[in-house]
Amino acid sequence: MLNAFKRTLLVAYLWVESLFDYIFGQKYNPFYYLGALTWFFFWVVSVSGIYLFLGGFDTGVTEVYDSVQWLTHDNWYLGGIMRSLHRYGSDAMVLTTVAHLLREFCMDRYHGVRWFAWFTGVPLIWLLITSGITGYWLVWDELAQYLAIASFEWLDAIGIFSEPIANNFLRDGSLTDRFFTLLIFMHIFVPLFLLFTMWVHLMRMAHAETNPPRQVALGAFGFLIVLSLVFPAVSHGPADLGKVVMNVGLDWFYLAGYPIYDMWGGEVLWIVAVGTSFALAMVPFIVPKEKYIPAVVDLPNCNGCTRCFVDCPFGAVTMQPRTDGSRYEEEAIVKENFCTGCGICVGSCPASSPFRRSEDLVTGIDLPHLRLSDLRTRMTEEAGRLSGETKVLVFGCEHGVDLKALESPEVGTVTFTCIGQMPPSFIDYAVNRLDIDGIMLTGCRSGDCYHRLGVIWTEERLTGYRDPYLRPRIERDQMRVCWAASIENPRLSREIDAFKAELQGMKASGPAVDDETAVTGATGE
Ligand code: HEM
């Protein structure tokens, strides 16, 4: 049942993302930056909030409503827009957080060391919702009145306060400036704690992306501005504790729990909220998954160069002083609990070269279940199997297109755990030693590597920005890149056919070098 839900959700995400890839290109598809976008919206909300606080908001309980009205209407071109940015930025945070949560879930990114990010994500939801609710109080309109009373009655339902807090809202005049200051303090303190927890959330991820690409950020900001101009955020009528609020328009992003409270009471809402959070927090521990097999360092082949340490997406590799008396100062060491067995460290190791003569190719750091020597053997066997005019080897990963389905007498395949496991020298070896005409590289969609950084590091290694890089003696038009998700077999097949046709044309007319498009030519943009 859960698996069926997960599968359906995954397919839905992949199709919608294909559409967005088509519109924005893989590099600027907002779906690949949902966590980073949430950070971005946090900054939008913070800056606009600071402006509102300093730019006219009055913290007195009797003055606050008018001050917000002034900001919204008289000062609409600045205060009003800032208020709307504050409101819609907060809504956008909820939207991207929920989309991010569902995405990490259906894409199976919560196991192993990722349990930590998942687990700390759950309090983020509470803090985010609390930040939003406390914000709604501050306007002190009818909605604020309803929310403040309902929220404190809900808290009172736990029964731990000697005096019901909701008593502060019993009648006109019972709400003091001091209590209102407490509400304001909560709206500042809770988001600060949210920020701290957002930082904790990323603690076990190396190179975590907290900034979306500039184009994505500008697009999102532009969207918020348009929304603010077309549908400016406004208040309800002023709060009046002498009246019972009957009808209010709810912001469903933040206030969806209130109808549950109204219909079934505080106890039921507690059960729903705590039960859902508990179930969510337990997901990494109850949804089964094969255990990751961690990478292993081979000390005699490790020269302590730190590349695996720098490239590991999960901080699973650390460096320590040499323990074997070698002339090198440091050695790599794998923290097994942090390792997801992605093999990106193998691709980064300078000893990972198929050109090395040893029969049993041993490298500085390797995956016990898919060793570099197995991959070289596989590549050699596939190359030996190929016949025909143009021989193409496809190097891909376990999470992108199923490569087996692409095999033919002219097309061989090698599947790495992650494309980042592939040392660039494999391309060199295939072309110069195994007489392969062209290499097609594939892996998860650009910006959406299952192991976070494999695609980025591979692109940087191929273009010479990152060690180990592809040697310049490789003709760049002997290589194509097509990052594609598991549902994109037809697209990758078409790219391979087009590549084969090009290689044939090149053979017929002699080599034609086009360095620029070779590496980025078919990335799906
Ligand atoms: C305020 C809300 C949140 C923010 C700002 C946020 C932000 C982020 C960011 C920036 C990343 C790193 C992306 C990367 O560089 O690969 C990330 C990863 C992650 N987040 Fe969140 N997140 C939030 C809420 C959540 C929630 C509610 C959950 C789930 C309960 C969650 C689960 C995860 C997981 C599992 C990862 C690890 C992904 C991976 O290892 O590939 N996050 N988050």
Split at pLDDT 50, 70, 90, the class of 510 is low
Question: What pTM was computed for the model?
Answer: 0.93
Query: Does residue 21 have a pLDDT over 90?
Result: yes
35 lines ligand 1 (CB under 6 A): yes
- Mutation pick for ligand 1 pocket among 39, 110, 111, 205 (CB with most ligand atoms within 8 Å): 205
Query: Does residue 506 have a pLDDT over 50?
Result: yes
Instruction: Tell me the CA–centroid distance for residue 119 and ligand 1, in Å.
Output: 10
State the pLDDT at residue 169.
79
Query: Does residue 512 have a pLDDT over 80?
Result: no
210 lines ligand 1 (CB under 6 A): yes
Residues 6 or more apart in contact with residue 469 via CB below 8 angstroms: 424, 461, 462, 463
Classify residue 76 by its DSSP letter.
I
Peptide bond into 468 cis (omega under 30): yes
What residue owns the CA closest to ligand 1's atom 25? 121
Spans of all domains in the chain = 2-286, 296-520
122 lines ligand 1 (CB under 6 A): yes
Atom of ligand 1 nearest to the CA of 98: 27
Instruction: Tell me the CA–centroid distance for residue 502 and ligand 1, in Å.
Output: 41
What residue owns the CA closest to ligand 1's atom 26? 121
Q: For the CA atoms of the chain, what is the radius of gyration? A: 28
338 burial (CB, 10 Å; 0-12 / 13-18 / 19+) is buried
Number of C-beta neighbours around residue 9 at 10 A: 15
CA dihedral sign, ordered 28, 32, 33, 34: positive
Instruction: Tell me the DSSP string of 404-425.
Output: GGG-BTTEEEEEESSGGGS-TH
Atom of ligand 1 nearest to the CA of 280: 30
Number of C-beta neighbours around residue 307 at 10 A: 23
Strand partners, 411: 392, 408
State the pLDDT at residue 238.
94
Query: Does residue 34 have a pLDDT over 60?
Result: yes
Tell me if 412 sits within 8 A of 391, measured CB to CB. Answer: yes
Phi-psi region of 57 (alpha: psi -120 to 50; beta: other; left: phi over 0): beta
448 lines ligand 1 (CB under 6 A): no
Give the pairing of strands 317-321 and 330-334: antiparallel
Give residue-wise pLDDT tens across range 248-306.
888 999 999 999 999 999 999 999 999 999 999 999 998 777 788 999 999 999 999 99
Tell me if 420 sits within 8 A of 449, measured CB to CB. Answer: yes
Copy the structure tokens of residue 295: 């990478």
Mean pLDDT, rounded, of the chain: 93
Instruction: Tell me the CA–centroid distance for residue 396 and ligand 1, in Å.
Output: 26
104 lines ligand 1 (CB under 6 A): yes
* Range 2-286 has CATH code 1.20.810.10: yes
Share of the chain above pLDDT 70, in %: 97
| Rounded Cα gap, residues 513 and 464, in angstroms | 17
State the pLDDT at residue 511.
54
| Rounded Cα gap, residues 290 and 456, in angstroms | 26
Query: Does residue 437 have a pLDDT over 90?
Result: yes
| Rounded Cα gap, residues 301 and 371, in angstroms | 14
State the pLDDT at residue 191.
98
Give the pairing of strands 438-443 and 411-416: unpaired
| Rounded Cα gap, residues 524 and 518, in angstroms | 13
124 lines ligand 1 (CB under 6 A): yes
Query: Does residue 357 have a pLDDT over 80?
Result: no
